[in-house]
Structure 1
Amino acid sequence: MNRLADATSPYLLQHADNPVDWWEWGPDAFAEARARNVPVLLSIGYAACHWCHVMAHESFEDDATAAYMNHHFVNIKVDREERPDVDAVYMQATTAMTGHGGWPMTVVLDHEGAPFFAGTYFPDQPRHGSPSFRQVLAALSEAWRDRGDEVRRVAGQLREHLAMTGDLPSGAMSRELLDGAVATLAKEFDPMAGGFGNAPKFPPTMVLEFLRRVSTSSTTESSDDEVVKQARHMLARTTAAMAGGGMYDQLGGGFARYSVDRGWVVPHFEKMLYDNAQLLGLYARLSTEAGDRVARETADFLLRELRTPEGGFASALDADSPDPETGRSVEGAFYVWTPAQLVDALGESDGAWAADLFSVTADGTFEHGTSTLQLRHFPSAESDRARLADVRARLLDVRDQRPRPGLDDKVVAAWNGLAISGFCDAGLLLGQPAYVDAAVAAAELIERIHLEDGRLLRVSRNGVAGPHAGVLEDYGCVASGLLSLVQATGDARWLTLATALLDTALDGFRADDGGFFDTHREAEALVARPRDPGDNASPSGFSAMVHALVTAHALTGDGHYRDAAEQALATAAGLAERAPRFAGWSLAAAHTMLDGPLEVAVVGPAGPDRDALADRARRLPGAVVVVADEASDAVPLLAGRTPVDGQPAAYVCRGFVCERPVTSPDELG
């Protein structure tokens, strides 16, 4: 066992018995490199990463390769999900040096942490024009030994490049900018398959929420009809294509991380909490029959397969699992089928019917004659729906007998914040109180385990917090989740905790131009302080903070939260105009701010009348809705709100300026 044996990260523990003498990130590793006068080799990945596993099997488990690494380098292994700050800095270096990024990431550093070489996966043998990992190691060792001046020059240039994190240009998030963003998205939209661009395709969840808000806006300042029509089409086409393809688990619910092809047929099979938490809420907010079904199935998948004994949600399921016949770890083995396997599981008649319905062919849509399951057309006849439910249940039982993918069971604060929000939306919109209960349990875990002296810790495992400080996305996503809980439960304790986190973030992460850094000002100093307002597979810390600030203002009336949101959004206007695919969550927040947001207090005795008012209010785009039996000063939006003639009433406000209370859902629009 190497130095990773006591790590809390499942990814690091996967490498604990490598012959490579791995170190965790920290000053001791760099001190060792200085003492031996060798460079640092930094390898970054995550537990569910398929190509990380491949490189580990080919190189890190090879005795000869490990011996060379141990002699010529000090080797550091980092879980990107545990240390997103380290990952962000060196991913920026990797993309600057190579034009692309990804995991596993391989970066070689000087003794001060400045990179002079970067790449991603390297094979064990020269392949497809790529050198072998051993060749790369030999060249780097030789350069360090014989061309030290060149190495120092490259490292110095990269250090200067990474340190260039000045103020961002500011601009207005105007209605015209938002309409222009829709037009730009329409140019990048794939009209045949949905989504944006070509393969690979990741679920554009935050962009889709922006389009949903545009397409359902009903205010007098809404975008013009053509913009609304474009937004509605892109939203409907993409959500249907993703849910009908192989990227969605047609048996067990939940989405894989991305599709390797344009048509959403073959996924990269790992299933991430951050994707499913966001998609859970998005599909619930669609308010369609198909959206409700996908949201319910996704929620049930999360509860069944990712919920931890402590009440939180684990990070991911692996893409790989052991092949039942060979025992070798194979990508997708748990999820794919052949026509013969369907017949074995279901019998001749149902097996042939299922193969046709799920597009399982003799040639296969994946590898070695296997197919992913697609469901492009959900049956309309009641008898076919009943048959499908029976078939799915039987296939799921058979699949559950297969060797299961590995579970990355660490709990990440930010992603649990996303799950809290998703479960609140699904619970309220689908009428499933158990989903809200799950959100409460996850919030209680965050409060109990991830809070230390008012600050968030990034990860925990088995109920024990790891040592790493929370980053901006942890504060933004957790605060947003807690504010969703305020709306779902009316419990003011979550408002108190959420605003305390926002105050801590405003004090520790804010930049001089009104934007945000990704790390606290007292965090460990790296070669650069990361700052990126762009969304990736999950909201950036920046955009998560903006949403939380907007919601906090709507619930409290505290103007400094809205001021902070407006100042921050101004720094993202250039990104939103230039590359809206990477600013979807900021665009969604800007749309809500331009429209108000609507602040709705529903007050009165519990029952069908109050439920009807609350349900209608919650379907208003971007609305912040809180429901209670009576007025409450503890949640300022509820202060002074009373029923009307003993009947439940809804108070619709903007900036805490309210219209007359209404008692009928039809009056809410």
Structure 2
Amino acid sequence: MANRLAAAASPYLLQHAGNPVDWLEWGPEAFAEARRRDVPILLSVGYAACHWCHVMAHESFEDDQVAEVMNAGFVPVKVDREERPDVDAIYMAATTAMTGHGGWPMTAFLTPGGEPFFCGTYYPKVHFLRVLDAVQEAWTDRREQVLSSSATVTEALGGMARSGPSSPLDAHALDAAVTTLAGQFDPSNGGFGGAPKFPPSMALEFLLRHHGRTGSAEALRMVTETAEAMGRGGMYDQLAGGFARYSVDAEWVVPHFEKMLYDNAQLLRTYLHLWRSLSAADAAPDHGATADLAKRVVRETAEFLLRDLGTAEGAFASALDADATDEAGHSVEGLTYAWTPAQLAEALGPDDGARAAELLGVTEAGTFEHGASTLQLRSDPADPEWWEEARQRLLTARAQRPQPARDDKVVTAWNGLAIAALAEVGALLEEPRYLSAARTCAELLLDRHLVDGRLRRVSRDGVAGSAEGVAADYGDLAEGLLALHQATGEARYLHEATRLLETAVELFGDDGGFYDVAEDRVASEGLITRPRDLTDNVEPSGTSALAGALTTSAALTGSTEHRELAERAVAAAGAIARQEPRFASWTLAVAEAQLAGPLQVAVVGPPNAAGRAGLERAVRHSTSPGLVLTAGEPDAAGIPLLAQRPLVGGEAAAYVCRGFVCDRPVTTVEELTAALRR
């Protein structure tokens, strides 16, 4: 059987199409072949931007000796975790349970029925060959023991997917979560815990919302110190904008260089909300420098999304690789991004090069590898004009280096996060380009990813793949559409979001949270259990993503059903939020919105009226986590908040409401600001 990956849609699978390994994609053909040959399935899961996935591919999957052993004793199956998060979730749970840790590449050995009996992550070639021999010996000589073990693991996985006790989150629980996070906070470097350090975007958003609701100085302090450290460190691209996936050290100096769409979309929104909080009229004056930094990071990261991740069709690609290929054909991590003092001098000249090295923390010893350094901007340049010119020259020089590969598949959930961020940035900074990019992306997803009323998980070159969307795809896209509705006032996006949420409730809902996959896909996709993960890791879980979108939808439409579903979903993850708030941060952020809202503001007036624009601006600068905004003509069709909201004396007016019960309308920014503070 020859390698079957040449026709795959996933860039990660295509990276393995030339391997001597007889790879198959996940599906009925692989299971049938394993049953016919009576051999285990060797499942390898990774993603295109994964450094250690490339290492294992080069050491083992491109090696004829290893391939011969794999082909003879197994049915090798290759899966892109970003295309099939359902498959990844099931076997990552098994890997973590068996080994105590997880990661990619993930290597799992399955019975022909898909039940796991041995799991691991990255294996060097010599070790991998030993594992292959040991697994073959166990399958041949100790089959009953293997089957018994796999059945036990599979039963445990099914138990993990069942819903636990409901635990609603009240004000006391949210206060306690802030206290827990404060105990885990790194006071020297920002962030939580030690190395490696991942950008805690959802935790920061929760803390910002908590500050918006309660005025907590402690919550705001943790956000500002973390955002300052990340934005000035080596994990942030000081030349081109955008964040790497994580820092290998606790000081945010050396990143793992891959840049993921989901990180940058979430951090874009978080830095925007931080800038809004620090720019408020009652903000402390000593936060001015951090506010300026946050606004710069917002603009640079938005430009990174449009320039480096934007696809020809108008959506956003998944990631940039951690590695680039050098002249000898070797993949080298950080090759594009790290600098030596000599390289700075070559690009800028001796004097400017030395000046840049001092500003950017580039030393002869180096902060990274082989005497090279990542670029940090620990303090603002004394001469901003000089730095801007030097930055452009360094970018020009960097463009001549080998560039990282791009994983250009379009993931529904991550693009939903990008739509939400760009819509809010465009509206709050009054930058039409960002709003236009959000609208174009939304239209593409609705046109290409929505097939027969159900979402597809990914597309590439505008063509949707076969993998069905999971719960997070529906929740995150609905979140983006609702943000776009609030930014534009267009009823279409509200209606499309509501329709997606109704479908999601039907496909994924139960008596509490949400499953990650639709019930009718379990058997057809060969899944051994119906996965459900309530934890927020690097992106919102399916349950918390849907809870957030349902909360906003309820506020915009008055749907009590959506509000009740959202509250039950938050309660389903409440136990995790109480015990480990870092792993339920979006659940906590949604709970803040529920506790503070619904605070509904309807702004009515002619589209280009100066009075309407001023009122909208005042609303967008509010930091209340429960606030939603709709702006448009009075009684605009299909927008519940605008129904029976007339102009006042022929002028634009704002109606501040709770549960559609409104105060008297106001016509001045001063009156509206006072009403929002009340």
Shorter-normalised TM range: over 0.9
Shift of 1:607: 3.9
Aligned to 1:295: 298
**Is residue 632–residue 640 contact of structure 1 (8 Å, CA) maintained in 2?**
no
Alignment deviations for residues 92-113 of structure 1 (CA, whole Å, 9 cap, x no partner): 0000000000000000000111
Alignment deviations for residues 110-137 of structure 1 (CA, whole Å, 9 cap, x no partner): 0111100000000113xxxxxx110111
Which residue identity lines up with residue 357 of structure 1 in the other structure? L
**Is residue 522–residue 530 contact of structure 2 (8 Å, CA) maintained in 1?**
no
Matched, 1:152 2:154: no
Shift of 1:329: 1.3
Aligned to 2:581: 580
Matched, 1:625 2:643: no
Aligned to 1:136: 131
Identical residues among aligned pairs (%): 59
Aligned to 1:129: none
Q: Secondary structure at the match of 2:589?
A: helix
Which residue identity lines up with residue 426 of structure 2 in the other structure? G
Which residue identity lines up with residue 438 of structure 1 in the other structure? A
Aligned to 2:285: none
Q: Secondary structure at the match of 1:523?
A: helix
Taking the TM superposition and a 5 Å limit, the aligned residue runs for 1:473-488 are 473-488=472-487
Taking the TM superposition and a 5 Å limit, the aligned residue runs for 1:9-88 are 9-88=10-89
Alignment deviations for residues 248-290 of structure 1 (CA, whole Å, 9 cap, x no partner): 0000000000001000000000000011111111111222222
1:334 to 336, 339, 364: 336
**Is residue 224–residue 274 contact of structure 2 (8 Å, CA) maintained in 1?**
no
Shift of 1:243: 0.6
**Is residue 48–residue 316 contact of structure 1 (8 Å, CA) maintained in 2?**
yes
Distance in 2, matches of 1:44 and 1:340, equals: 40
Distance in 1, matches of 2:653 and 2:389, equals: 44
Aligned to 2:4: 3
**Is residue 417–residue 476 contact of structure 2 (8 Å, CA) maintained in 1?**
yes
Distance in 2, matches of 1:329 and 1:167, equals: 44
Alignment deviations for residues 486-514 of structure 1 (CA, whole Å, 9 cap, x no partner): 111111111111111100011110123x2
Alignment deviations for residues 212-248 of structure 1 (CA, whole Å, 9 cap, x no partner): 011122xxxx3xx6xx121011010001111110000
Aligned to 1:255: 243
Aligned to 2:317: 314
Q: Secondary structure at the match of 1:86?
A: helix
Q: Secondary structure at the match of 1:303?
A: helix
Distance in 2, matches of 1:238 and 1:634, equals: 42
Matched, 1:542 2:543: yes
Using structure 1 for the length normalisation, give the TM-score: 0.96
Distance in 2, matches of 1:617 and 1:205, equals: 24
Alignment deviations for residues 508-547 of structure 1 (CA, whole Å, 9 cap, x no partner): 10123x2110001211331111101111111111111011
Which residue identity lines up with residue 600 of structure 2 in the other structure? E
Aligned to 1:377: 379
**Is residue 284–residue 430 contact of structure 1 (8 Å, CA) maintained in 2?**
no
Distance in 2, matches of 1:284 and 1:629, equals: 28
Aligned to 2:348: 346
Matched, 1:414 2:416: no
Aligned to 1:637: 641
Q: Secondary structure at the match of 2:657?
A: strand
Distance in 1, matches of 2:435 and 2:104, equals: 35
Distance in 1, matches of 2:78 and 2:313, equals: 28
Aligned to 1:278: 266
Aligned to 2:220: 232
Taking the TM superposition and a 5 Å limit, the aligned residue runs for 1:104-503 are 104-125=105-126, 132-164=127-159, 165-217=161-213, 222=214, 228-287=216-275, 288-323=291-326, 325-379=327-381, 381=382, 384-503=383-502
Matched, 1:646 2:646: no
Structure 1 gaps, min length 5: 126-131
Distance in 2, matches of 1:40 and 1:523, equals: 21
**Is residue 318–residue 408 contact of structure 1 (8 Å, CA) maintained in 2?**
yes
Structure 2 gaps, min length 5: 276-290
Aligned to 2:278: none
Distance in 1, matches of 2:15 and 2:258, equals: 16
**Is residue 487–residue 625 contact of structure 1 (8 Å, CA) maintained in 2?**
yes
**Is residue 285–residue 429 contact of structure 1 (8 Å, CA) maintained in 2?**
no
Mean Cα deviation higher: 161-170 or 3-12: 161-170
Matched, 1:523 2:525: no
Q: Secondary structure at the match of 1:184?
A: helix
**Is residue 536–residue 582 contact of structure 1 (8 Å, CA) maintained in 2?**
yes
Distance in 2, matches of 1:491 and 1:52, equals: 43
**Is residue 315–residue 415 contact of structure 2 (8 Å, CA) maintained in 1?**
yes
Distance in 2, matches of 1:117 and 1:295, equals: 44
Distance in 2, matches of 1:34 and 1:322, equals: 40
**Is residue 292–residue 430 contact of structure 1 (8 Å, CA) maintained in 2?**
no
Q: Secondary structure at the match of 1:549?
A: helix
Distance in 2, matches of 1:378 and 1:631, equals: 49
Give structure 1 regions of 4+ aligned residues with deviation exceeding 3 angstroms.
Answer: none
Aligned to 1:662: 666
Q: Secondary structure at the match of 2:336?
A: coil
Distance in 2, matches of 1:173 and 1:269, equals: 37
Distance in 1, matches of 2:140 and 2:172, equals: 57
Shift of 1:54: 0.1
**Is residue 424–residue 484 contact of structure 2 (8 Å, CA) maintained in 1?**
no
Shift of 1:611: 2.3
Q: Secondary structure at the match of 2:345?
A: helix
Change (3 A) 1:608 1:342: farther
Shift of 1:597: 2.6
Shift of 1:633: 3.7
Which residue identity lines up with residue 312 of structure 1 in the other structure? A
Change (3 A) 1:607 1:373: farther
Which residue identity lines up with residue 518 of structure 2 in the other structure? H
Aligned to 2:279: none
Which residue identity lines up with residue 194 of structure 2 in the other structure? N
**Is residue 554–residue 637 contact of structure 1 (8 Å, CA) maintained in 2?**
no
Which residue identity lines up with residue 518 of structure 1 in the other structure? D
How many pairs are equivalent?
650
Aligned to 2:281: none
Aligned to 1:128: none
**Is residue 284–residue 426 contact of structure 1 (8 Å, CA) maintained in 2?**
yes
Shift of 1:172: 2.0
Shift of 1:206: 0.6
Mean Cα deviation higher: 589-598 or 458-467: 589-598
Which residue identity lines up with residue 258 of structure 1 in the other structure? Y
Shift of 1:349: 1.6
Alignment deviations for residues 585-632 of structure 1 (CA, whole Å, 9 cap, x no partner): 111111111111311111123244322221221122322112224331
Alignment deviations for residues 152-175 of structure 1 (CA, whole Å, 9 cap, x no partner): 111011011011032221122100
Alignment deviations for residues 55-108 of structure 1 (CA, whole Å, 9 cap, x no partner): 000000000000000001000000000000000000000000000000000000
**Is residue 41–residue 74 contact of structure 1 (8 Å, CA) maintained in 2?**
yes
Which residue identity lines up with residue 267 of structure 1 in the other structure? P
Using structure 2 for the length normalisation, give the TM-score: 0.94
The Cα RMSD (Å) is: 1.2
Distance in 1, matches of 2:634 and 2:335, equals: 54
Distance in 1, matches of 2:635 and 2:621, equals: 23
Aligned to 2:280: none
Q: Secondary structure at the match of 1:108?
A: strand
Shift of 1:663: 2.2
